[in-house]
């Protein structure tokens, strides 16, 4: 849990670095508009993280199931009366705030799937894997209808890891591989923005790569120790500097040393999470915890990879560091549920989490 609060503190620091410039660019009178909101989101995420981590495994599963069905219903509602921005309909406007239910549905689905898949050990004749796959397929379909391909890829990867840890049969592995390849080809053919982003990655000279180019320039300008707090230039030229490209802002102002510390924090949290999950005797807790830590780690990896131009661009926040209320709450829920599962009793080797 200490790692989570360390990342939240970094997020508040980076909000002070990038928030005022973003507020001025958008036209808010209060230059600390995003800073104040980030602090409120951080407090809410911390409360959710602490309270959820205190649940036992049974209540963690029940809570996740309730969150899943509520969030799924909200995702259906988004298709009818959701708020559209940048060509996507992913948000609900509530009292001046934007709520993105997909951020909550991801960890809830992973916990629910882990429990369903674990039931095969006690009731091998039940359609547990099929039910888990149906829940995943419905969620995936709603994400693609928004459309939100990045979240769909992230959820799919975490779901497959959960399935793998629970004992993925080879026929299911083959089905996932062939289905994923077919869906990727279909999305490339049907969605122009997906096609443009993939093509721009392989042939950047033929497309507008302004954001990626600016992020690369900022990272290069930062060097080992950065240009100094508040002295960065990229936050004034990128519209998503305080969200999707906060990593580039951080490297420019604080340098590669700070980036290495951040990467070490993410890596340590994920590796310790996997280690704790591997010790669990409970198949449900083991599979769900592994999926949740994978969800957390993969989201960080995708955001950073986009910032350094290792993968095609995709709008995805850096956990606890980027600005965004739904993202902060979703990550708080993810780690809270993960801690609730690994802190339970029953480990193969007694240790810190035993």
Give the model confidence (pLDDT) of 231-263 as tens digits. Answer: 888 888 888 788 889 999 999 999 999 999 999
Residue 286 has pLDDT above 50, yes or no: yes
| 352: in domain | no
Instruction: Give percent of the chain with pLDDT exceeding 70.
Output: 93
Report CA dihedral (334, 335, 341, 343) to the nearest 10 degrees.
Answer: -170
| 320 dihedral zone (left: phi>0; alpha: psi -120 to 50; beta) | left
Residue 354 has pLDDT above 70, yes or no: no
Q: Which helix (H) or strand (E) holds 182?
A: helix 170-190
Contacts of 313 (CB under 8 A, 6+ apart): 197, 200, 201, 211, 212, 306
What number is the average pLDDT over the span 320-340? 94
CA distance 187 to 203: 19
Residue 331 has pLDDT above 90, yes or no: yes
Peptide bond into 147 cis (omega under 30): yes
| 351: in domain | no
What number is the average pLDDT over the span 16-43? 89
What number is the average pLDDT over the span 323-345? 90
pLDDT digits (tens, 9 = 90+) for 155-201: 999 999 999 898 877 787 788 888 888 888 888 888 887 888 888 77
| 40 dihedral zone (left: phi>0; alpha: psi -120 to 50; beta) | alpha
CA distance 164 to 62: 23
CA distance 292 to 302: 15
Structure confidence at residue 7 as a pLDDT band (50, 70, 90): very high
Q: Which of 140, 102, 135, 103 has its CA nearest to residue 116? A: 135
What number is the average pLDDT over the span 271-278? 94
- Number of structural domains, the chain? 1
Q: Which helix (H) or strand (E) holds 86?
A: none
Return mean pLDDT, the chain: 87
Instruction: Give percent of the chain with pLDDT exceeding 90.
Output: 51
Q: Which tokens in the block code for residue 254?
A: 């604080």
CA distance 91 to 292: 23
Is residue 251 a contact partner of residue 229, using CB atoms and an 8 Å limit? no
Q: Which helix (H) or strand (E) holds 27?
A: none
Structure confidence at residue 103 as a pLDDT band (50, 70, 90): very high
| 349: in domain | no
Q: How many other CB atoms are there within 10 angstroms of residue 345's CB atom?
A: 12
Residue 131 has pLDDT above 80, yes or no: yes
More confident site: 88 or 55: 55
More confident site: 81 or 271: 271
Looking at residue 191, its pLDDT comes to 83
Q: Which tokens in the block code for residue 57?
A: 């495994």
Range of the domain at 283: 2-342
Residue 89 has pLDDT above 90, yes or no: no
> 59-63, 95-99, 153-157, 300-304: which has the minimum mean pLDDT?
95-99
What number is the average pLDDT over the span 8-31? 89
Looking at residue 349, its pLDDT comes to 47
Q: What is the pTM of this model?
A: 0.91
> 32-36, 37-41, 186-190, 321-325: which has the minimum mean pLDDT?
186-190
Is residue 102 a contact partner of residue 75, using CB atoms and an 8 Å limit? yes
| 17: in domain | yes
| 149: in domain | yes
| 7: in domain | yes
> 2-6, 16-20, 206-210: which has the minimum mean pLDDT?
206-210
- Specify which residues 88 forms β-bridges with: 85
Question: Angle at Cα 265 formed by Cα 327 and Cα 5, nearest 5°?
Answer: 55
CA distance 229 to 194: 35
| 228 dihedral zone (left: phi>0; alpha: psi -120 to 50; beta) | left
pLDDT digits (tens, 9 = 90+) for 105-129: 999 999 999 999 999 888 888 899 8
CA distance 46 to 328: 9
Residue 352 has pLDDT above 50, yes or no: no
| 228: in domain | yes
Query: Reduced to 3 states, what is the DSSP secondary structure of residue 1?
Result: coil
């Amino acid at each position: 849990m200490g790692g989570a609060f360390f990342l939240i503190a970094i997020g508040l620091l980076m909000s002070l670095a990038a928030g005022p410039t973003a507020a001025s660019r958008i036209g808010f009178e209060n230059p600390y508009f995003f800073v104040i909101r980030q602090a409120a989101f951080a407090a809410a995420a911390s409360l959710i993280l602490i309270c959820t981590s205190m649940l036992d495994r049974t209540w963690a599963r029940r809570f996740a199931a309730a969150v899943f069905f509520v969030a799924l219903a909200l995702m259906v509602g988004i298709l009818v009366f959701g708020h559209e921005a940048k060509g996507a309909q992913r948000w609900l406007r509530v009292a001046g705030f934007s709520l993105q239910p997909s951020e909550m549905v991801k960890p809830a689905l992973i916990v629910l799937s882990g429990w369903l898949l674990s039931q095969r050990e006690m009731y091998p004749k039940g359609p547990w894997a099929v039910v888990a796959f149906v829940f995943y397929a419905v969620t995936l379909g709603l994400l693609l209808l928004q459309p939100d391909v990045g979240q769909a890829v992230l959820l799919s990867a975490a779901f497959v890891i959960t399935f793998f840890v629970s004992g993925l049969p080879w026929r299911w592995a083959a089905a996932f591989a062939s289905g994923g390849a077919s869906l990727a080809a279909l999305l490339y053919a049907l969605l122009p923005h997906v096609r443009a982003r993939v093509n721009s990655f392989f042939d950047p000279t033929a497309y507008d790569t302004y954001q990626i180019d600016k992020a690369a320039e900022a990272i290069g300008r930062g060097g080992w120790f950065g240009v100094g707090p508040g002295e960065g230039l990229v936050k004034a030229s990128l519209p998503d500097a305080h969200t999707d490209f906060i990593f580039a802002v951080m490297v420019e102002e604080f340098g590669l040393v700070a980036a290495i510390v951040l990467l070490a924090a993410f890596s340590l949290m994920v590796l310790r999470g996997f280690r704790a999950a591997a010790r669990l005797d409970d198949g449900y807790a083991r599979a769900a915890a592994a999926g949740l830590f994978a969800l957390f780690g993969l989201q960080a990896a995708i955001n950073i990879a986009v910032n350094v131009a290792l993968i095609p661009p995709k709008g995805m926040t850096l956990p606890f560091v980027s600005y965004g209320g739904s993202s902060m709450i979703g990550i708080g829920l993810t780690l809270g549920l993960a801690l609730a599962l690994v802190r339970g009793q029953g480990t193969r080797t007694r240790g810190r989490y035993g």
